[in-house]
């Protein structure tokens, strides 16, 4: 079981933040635009300078190479980046991707041969999730993972990510502006205020 521990995390004059996410737990994070939700995820993923302690099980962020930490504590940005011509070129080994993940996200296996230029924003986001799961991360940091999706694909993504968290006992930190989504996916919620404070709850309906 993976456990993500964050202690006295500070960045850009924000914090300190201390919280723990248990394996298989989904913690929802919400707050006004500009309150710092994405900055918090980027600091936890070691994408921005920070101070404090970050630990996933026995692995400590400042004791391993940054690339190793980012594969294990993986962040899905609100907008994914694509730099090669075809989908499969963005994977280490597309042929080894679990077919169940591909079909659960609404694609056929031949999506690997698609040209990136033909992808809609929603298709890119779903494929970015597939790319993220290729490394079998031990924690997921999700920044509005369904913002560009319709209702049908939102349901598919929610189901896949929650199943991954439960089956692999992986913690999820899920940012969303949609309180109804957080009620569906989160075991508990955190609210980030405009002054950077982080408090429990507040998404509504007991989340």
At 103-119, the pLDDT tens digits run 999 999 999 999 999 99
**CA-based end-to-end distance of the chain:** 24
For residue 143, is the peptide bond before it cis, meaning its omega torsion is within 30 degrees of 0? no
Q: How far apart, in whole angstroms, are the C-alpha atoms of residue 204 and residue 207?
A: 6
Q: How far apart, in whole angstroms, are the C-alpha atoms of residue 54 and residue 88?
A: 32
pLDDT band for 203, please (50, 70, 90 cuts).
low
**Residue 206: pLDDT above 70?**
no
- What does the pLDDT read at residue 2? 85
- What does the pLDDT read at residue 80? 87
The domains of the chain are located at 4-196
Output phi, psi for 71, to 5 deg. Answer: -75, -35
**Residue 165: pLDDT above 60?**
yes
Strands 172-175 and 188-192, sheet pairing: unpaired
Q: What is the mean pLDDT of residues 161-184?
A: 96
Q: pTM for the whole thing?
A: 0.94
Q: Name the burial class of residue 156, with classes exposed (0-12), middle (13-18) and buried (19+) by CB atoms within 10 angstroms of its CB.
A: middle
Record: fold of 4-196: Rossmann fold (3.40.50)
Distance of alpha carbon 112 from its chain centroid, rounded?
Answer: 22
At 66-81, the pLDDT tens digits run 999 999 999 999 888 8
113, 118, 122, 127 alpha-carbon torsion, rounded to 10°: 20
């Amino acid at each position: 079981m993976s456990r993500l521990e964050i202690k006295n995390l500070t960045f850009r004059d924000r914090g300190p933040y201390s919280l723990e996410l248990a394996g298989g737990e989904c913690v929802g994070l919400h707050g006004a635009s500009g309150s710092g939700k994405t900055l918090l995820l980027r600091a936890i993923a070691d994408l921005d300078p920070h101070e404090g302690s970050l630990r996933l099980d026995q692995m400590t962020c400042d004791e391993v190479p940054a690339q190793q930490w980012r594969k294990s504590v993986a962040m899905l940005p609100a907008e994914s980046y694509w730099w090669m011509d075809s989908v499969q070129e963005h994977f280490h080994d597309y042929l080894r991707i679990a077919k169940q993940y591909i079909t659960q996200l609404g694609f056929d296996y031949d999506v690997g041969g698609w040209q990136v230029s033909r992808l809609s924003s929603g298709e890119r986001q779903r494929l970015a999730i597939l790319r993220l799961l290729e490394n079998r991360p031990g924690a997921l940091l999700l920044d509005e993972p369904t913002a560009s999706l319709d209702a049908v694909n939102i349901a598919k993504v929610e189901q896949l990510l929650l199943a991954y968290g439960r089956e692999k006992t992986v913690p999820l930190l899920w940012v969303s502006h949609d309180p109804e989504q957080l009620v569906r996916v989160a075991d508990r919620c955190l609210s980030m205020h405009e002054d950077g404070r982080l408090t429990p709850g507040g998404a509504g309906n007991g989340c």
